[in-house]
Amino acid sequence: MNKKMIIIIAAVALVVIVGAGVAVFMMTRPPEEVVLAYHEYTFDEEYSNLADEASKKIVKYQVTIEYTDVTMLAVFDQNRTKIRNNIDEIMRATSSEDIEKTNGKERLRDRIKLMIIEELESDEEIITNIYLQPFVIQG
């Protein structure tokens, strides 16, 4: 064999070894963590009657939706009136006793979240939370 052939074989072997090393490194390194960005969509402050029969209690509230998909902003804007109306219906079907029970406000937030997910055909990975601030019952 001549010297040129040995150099070519050595170069090819080196490239194969380096390529195999890079491939092993790429396959064995841990996956990169995906960082979720949370966004908020806030509705105007609202007032609703509650379902209390013995009194005329009202609730003052403001709903904020926490979401992860930035494209949902346009969907919220497009469905703003429908969502506000449905939230009002949920409030009017809820009594102050329901809210004052253990985890009452949390259950109310869950009902609102479920309604939004159903109306917008979304899921809990996109609609992550509902906030009610301020939330005041009067009457």
**Domain extents for the chain?**
1-33, 39-138
Q: What is the token pair recorded at 132?
A: 């009610």
Q: What is the token pair recorded at 73?
A: 């902003």
Please provide the CATH number assigned to the domain covering 39-138.
Answer: 3.30.479.30
Q: Residue 1's pLDDT is what?
A: 61
* pTM for this model (two decimals): 0.75
Calpha distance 78→1 (Å, rounded): 76
- Whether pLDDT at 36 is above 90: no
Least confident among 5-9, 73-77, 104-108: 5-9
Calpha distance 37→70 (Å, rounded): 9
**Angle between helical axes of 80-92 and 104-119 (0-180°, round to 10):** 150
List pLDDT tens digits, range 12-26. 777 778 777 777 777
Q: Residue 62's pLDDT is what?
A: 97
